[in-house]
Amino acid sequence: MQDVLREACEAVQAAAAGKSKAEIRRMLTAEFRSRDYDFPPDLFDVLVDQLAAGTYVPGQPLVSVRCSGLLRLPFIGPAVGRFLEPALEALKEHISTEGIDHGVVRVSEHVADAWPVTSRMLPHPPGRGLYAPAPDEVPPPARLVADPDLRERVPDLFEASAPPFPARWASMPSAAEADLVFIWLEEDGGTVAACCPPGRLGTLNAGDAEAYLPLVRVAHAQDMVVAATADIRPAARGLLSATVRVIADRSEPGAPQSSPRS
């Protein structure tokens, strides 16, 4: 696919001198059609802008993404997930995420419904994948014991409520429906640590950790961490109360259970 894209863009680039952006758009559309090549519309616009400005460089990512603050992932059903998967694969080829700096990532309880797709949008430790076990392997909910300095390190967790979605996302779930924090679980000194992109949140209650350790160790043996969510609510006196639940892969039988490592 990259070779086809490069050939089409270089053909337009060679004839782009003195052409308007509209003419370049028509030329690029014709080149793609002649090669039976589909391209995400937003990235197509980026290509046209680069070709018109003379800044297109073959082989370089079209977009460099730096993500911070709150990332919210709405419900994505299995059918929609299957539809989006080819587009996500295409986007990965053209977007550079080097130096990506995620903030707190909030998801809805439906994040597991299309896990093979949604897992690709979620952060994870470098070089390790995300492990989502089968539903019958999920341990009971656990209580998170927050680190004492958590408010200073991750103030986003203590927001009273999540901000609303932009108006153009009016069909998406309300902020309240996407108010679970995405975390991952890994072993730390014989107990289970709960982590998110900004850093460690705390550890599971000692009694609960016993049931989680076998799952965490199975994931670790495969260079993975266990994907989970935390229902985090600021409590009295500024403390934090949270219930941790492992994400089960409910997408469909036989679907992949982990995200690719990168």
For 115-129, the pLDDT digits (tens) are 877 787 788 888 888
Task: Supply the DSSP symbol for 258.
Answer: B
97-102 long-range contacts (CB < 8 A, ≥24 apart) are 97/64, 97/65, 97/67, 98/64, 99/66, 100/65, 100/66, 100/67, 101/66, 101/67, 101/68, 101/197, 102/67, 102/68, 102/71, 102/197, 102/198
Main-chain dihedrals φ then ψ at residue 214, nearest 5 degrees = -60, -40
Rg (C-alpha) for the chain, rounded Å, is 22
Quick check: 46 pLDDT over 60?
Answer: yes
The answer to whether residue 241 sits within a structural domain is yes
What's the rounded Cα separation, in Å, for the pair 15 and 7? 13
The answer to whether residue 256 sits within a structural domain is no
Question: Is 109 in the same domain as 187?
Answer: yes
Quick check: 222 pLDDT over 90?
Answer: yes
The answer to whether residue 260 sits within a structural domain is no
The answer to whether residue 257 sits within a structural domain is no
Mean pLDDT of the chain: 75
Query: In the structure encoding, which two tokens stand for residue 257, read together?
Result: 């259970």
Question: Is 104 in the same domain as 207?
Answer: yes
The answer to whether 95 and 126 are in contact (CB under 8 A) is no
The answer to whether residue 123 sits within a structural domain is yes
Q: What is residue 239's predicted lDDT score, i.e. its pLDDT?
A: 55
Question: Is 51 in the same domain as 90?
Answer: no
**Mean pLDDT over residues 7-11, rounded?**
90
Nearest Cα residue to 201 out of 141, 165, 168, 155: 155
Question: Is 43 in the same domain as 170?
Answer: no
* Phi-psi domain of 69 (left: phi exceeds 0; alpha: psi -120 through 50; beta: other): left
Per residue in 55-105, pLDDT (tens digit) is: 888 877 665 444 444 455 544 455 445 545 555 555 555 555 544 445 788
N-terminal to C-terminal alpha carbon distance within the chain? 21
Question: Is 55 in the same domain as 100?
Answer: no
Q: Which residue has the higher pLDDT, 112 or 159?
A: 112
What's the rounded Cα separation, in Å, for the pair 193 and 21? 53
Q: What is residue 253's predicted lDDT score, i.e. its pLDDT?
A: 53
Question: Is 96 in the same domain as 166?
Answer: yes
Percentage of the residues of the chain whose pLDDT score is greater than 70: 66
Query: In the structure encoding, which two tokens stand for residue 44, read together?
Result: 């197509």
Q: What is residue 89's predicted lDDT score, i.e. its pLDDT?
A: 56
- Domain with 241, as residue range(s), is 71-246
Of the pLDDT bands very low, low, confident and very high (cuts 50, 70, 90), residue 223 is very high
**Mean pLDDT over residues 12-35, rounded?**
90
Question: Is 232 in the same domain as 119?
Answer: yes
Residues 6+ apart with CB under 8 A from 33: none
The answer to whether 209 and 108 are in contact (CB under 8 A) is no
> Cα dist. 173→75, 177, 231 in Å?
7, 6, 17
Question: Is 120 in the same domain as 239?
Answer: yes
HSE of 250 in the Cβ direction (CA atoms, 13 Å)?
A: 14
Domains contained in the chain, number: 2
Question: Is 40 in the same domain as 76?
Answer: no
Per residue in 126-179, pLDDT (tens digit) is: 888 899 999 999 999 999 998 888 888 888 777 654 444 443 333 334 444 446
